[in-house]
Amino acid sequence: MIGKSRRKADASAAESRGNGKRERILLAAWETIRKYGFDKTTVSDIAKGAGIAKGTVYLYFRSKDEIMLALVELTNRRINDRLERIAESQIPPRAKVREILMFRILRIYDIVKYPHGEEIVSAMKSSISKIIGAFLDEQAALVKKCLDEGVKSGEFTKINTGQVAGTLVAMFELLTPPYYRIRSKSELEKFAGTLLDLVLSGIERKKS
């Protein structure tokens, strides 16, 4: 945790030195790509949206692809920060596991289900997957921590918490885009909730 806090502090200091330009670039990129799509958006469009010269963009990012990857990383970092707060909360372990997994897939749905969202995911799938893989490992660790708490408190039976956590995270990753059969957020929430409740009921300690 110390290393993570230090990285955040270093990033904040760097951002301050740049007068928030990197953040402005990312915000402008997000808004522009959402409006026009990844392929049609140019670095000039992003620079205009950020209110800076095109050359300034290249002081922070080497290409449009690199900007997109930074957006993916920032988005997933924010998601994981929220998941960490859930894991550290005072709600029961079962509720923590459920909320962690449900929050992520519903947040991803909100992000992707806008014009051009799935186009971006499809176009940059191989590059994005490398970044997301590291965040999924963090999520599995958080789920394992919650499962360990549940086993210790007697809420869950004795299980291989690492294996179950990895399986849950991998299973729910299959519910992220592209969506072939999910037609709405409510449908996704209902299906995912039912699936998760079935799994969690299987590892709950039965009351005698």
Confidence of residue 9 (pLDDT cuts 50, 70, 90): very low
For residues 72 and 16, state if they share a domain: no
Looking at residue 133, its amino acid is: G
Cβ neighbours of 208 (radius 10 Å):
3
Q: Label residue 208 by pLDDT band (50, 70, 90).
A: low
Rounded Cα distance, 2 and 206, in Å = 39
CB 108 within 8 A of CB 135: no
One domain for residues 121 and 189: yes
State yes or no: pLDDT of 12 exceeds 60. Answer: no
pLDDT at 5 over 50: no
Q: In this structure, are 70 and 57 located in the same domain?
A: no
Q: Percent of the chain, pLDDT > 70?
A: 87
| Structural domains counted in the chain | 2
Residues 75 and 52 in one domain: no
Is the pLDDT at 162 greater than 60? The verdict is yes
Sign of the CA dihedral with 87 first, then 91, 93, and 98 last: negative
* Range of the structural domain that residue 192 is part of: 64-208
- Whether 83 and 17 map to the same domain: the answer is no
Mean pLDDT for the stretch of residues 174-201: 91
Token reading at 155? 């809420």
Please tell me whether residues 16 and 68 are part of one structural domain. Answer: no
Q: Which residues have C-beta within 8 Å of that of residue 114, sequence separation ≥ 6? A: 34
Q: Are residues 55 and 83 in the same domain?
A: no
* For residue 10, pLDDT beyond 50: no
Indicate the length of the chain as a whole number. Answer: 208
8 A C-beta contact, residue 77 and residue 132:
no
